[in-house]
Every structure is written in structure tokens, then in C-alpha cells.
Amino acid sequence: MRKPLIILAIVAVVLYIGYSFFAGTYNNMVQREEQVTNAWSQVDNVYQRRLDLIPNLVATVKGAADFEKSTLTAVIEARASATQIKVDPKNLTTEQLAKFQASQGQLSAALGRLMVVAEQYPQLKANQNFLELQAQLEGTENRIAVERQKFNDVVLDYNKYVRSFPQTMLAGMYGFKEKAYFQSDKGAEHSPKVQF
């Protein structure tokens, strides 16, 4: 009578350990994936802040000077293009992130040209609205850099977990895939040439 109870107890313990391992691993993967989703939401949030500032900046520039229309058009078109690219954090591939970064990079370049051209207009540089928008835009660019770094840190934690043994065997079974990182912009590895 004791022998069947001992065998039943051993089987129950083994099943409990197996269940705990599978459930615990799954729950850890879910938790880490949710952290990636949350970090992506913050990245998306600060990029949206930048997109929201641009119409006010364009309107201020338009109203303050007989501004170069091609520069304003480039900013408006780059903003429109950037709003079209949406990234699903659950299926975050290198290709998706590269498209997102490319569209945001085009917007950054157009904004950079706008700021350079704005330097040629003294009345615009003296406009309080323009100065405030410029400061907000600079602050937003800093926030973007911070949130991108936080995102990469969370993705690193997630990727290490799902690629580690024995989780890697279960990750495929559960449908958890490696996530993509933000990469530095092309040409960022070269320092700019300054000539006087």
C-alpha cells in the first residue's frame, strides 16, 4: 500500500516541477515581452510628440518670414511619411524597425535643414514662439535618444532570456521570437568634418 503512494507522490512532484518550469518560463517570457511593448510605447510617444510639434513650427516659420517653400514642403512631406510607418512591438523585426528609422531619419534631416535656413532670418530668430518651439524640439530629440536607449536595454534583456538554454527550446514552441534593436543612423560612425 505504501509503494503506490510513494510512486504517486513522486509522479505528482515531477509533474509539479515540470508544470512550474513550463509555466514559469512562459510567464517570464510574457513579462519580458510586455516590457518590450511598454518600452516601444514610450519610444512611439516621444516620436509622436515631435510629430505634434512640427505643424506649430511650420506655421510659425511660415508666418514670420517669406520662407523658402521647398524647405517647408520637405518638412511637411517627411512628417507625412513618418506618420505612415507603424511598428507592431509584438512582431518587431529588423526590417520594420529599419523602415521606421529611415522615415524618422528623413524627418530629422528635413528639420535640420529647416533650422539651418531659419538662421538666415533675424526676425524669425527673435520670434518667441519659434524659440520656444525650437527648445521643445531639442528637448524632444533628447527624450527620443533616452527612450531609444531604454528600449534597447529592455530588448537586450528579452533577447538574452529567450535565446538562453533551456528557454530557447520553449520560446519557439510558445511563439516568442527575438526582437530588433534600434541601430545608429547611417554615417553616425564617422565624425562630421568641420571646416572654417
Q: What are the pLDDT digits (tens) for 58-108?
A: 887 776 656 667 778 888 888 888 888 888 888 888 888 888 988 998 898
Q: What is the mean pLDDT of residues 36-54?
A: 91
Q: Is the Cα dihedral 54, 42, 88, 182 positive or negative?
A: positive
Taking the model in full, what pTM does it have? 0.76
pLDDT attached to residue 64: 63
pLDDT attached to residue 190: 40
Identify the structural domains of the chain with CATH numbers, from first to last: 2-174 (1.20.1440.20)
Kindly report the number of other CB atoms within 10 A of residue 97's CB atom: 20
| More confident site: 76 or 189 | 76
pLDDT attached to residue 124: 72
Those residues whose C-beta lies under 8 Å from the C-beta of residue 150, and which sit 6 or more positions away, are 39, 42
Among the ranges 49-53, 89-93, 168-172, which has the highest mean pLDDT value? 49-53
| pLDDT 10s digits, 104-152 | 988 988 888 888 877 777 777 777 878 888 888 889 889 999 999 999 9
Euclidean distance between CA atoms 125 and 69, whole angstroms? 18
